[in-house]
Amino acid sequence: MESISTNTYRIIAWAVILFMVLIVWLFRKTLGKPKKMTREEIVMNGVLADAIVLSIQETDLYINDLPQMKLQMQIKPNKGRNFVTEIQQVIPKTIFGPLHTGSKILVKYDPGYPREIVLFKSK
């Protein structure tokens, strides 16, 4: 008789464990990562941080007669760890001046997707 109740407890324990795993999976699936901010949302609500240009090069693509640039930057947020990211973007020289390796700029980024960067202004 005891072996039947022991097996019953084991089955119930496995059912509870499987149920908990399913609940955790559903929770992570539905809440998961936050929605990516649009460029406008990053400008309005993004996290402001200092950045240093590590490398800059033209991509040979022009948009409205302005060259698209590929920038590798080290982002230094006020909270959290520094990180390196790379963006490709048209950068008007009238706003940012001549950018070069070592240039310091302000950026805003999406805290849920920190590699989504918007150049804010030169320092």
Asked if residue 52 and residue 27 are part of one domain, the reply reads no
How many structural domains compose the chain?
A: 2
CB atoms within 10 A of CB 37: 20
Task: Determine the structural domain holding residue 24 and report its residue range.
Answer: 1-32
Which pLDDT value is given to residue 123? 65
- Name the residue type at position 31: L
CATH number of the domain at 64, please.
2.40.50
Distance CA 51, CA 6 (A): 62
* CB contact at 8 A, 52 and 104: yes
Q: pLDDT digit of tens for each residue in the chain (123 aa)?
A: 455 677 888 888 898 999 999 888 887 777 766 788 999 999 999 999 999 999 998 888 888 888 888 999 999 999 889 999 999 988 877 666 778 899 899 999 998 888 899 987 776
pTM of the model: 0.66
Asked if residue 45 and residue 96 are part of one domain, the reply reads yes
Asked if residue 115 and residue 65 are part of one domain, the reply reads yes
Distance CA 98, CA 108 (A): 20
Asked if residue 111 and residue 51 are part of one domain, the reply reads yes
N-to-C CA span, the chain: 79
Asked if residue 114 and residue 82 are part of one domain, the reply reads yes
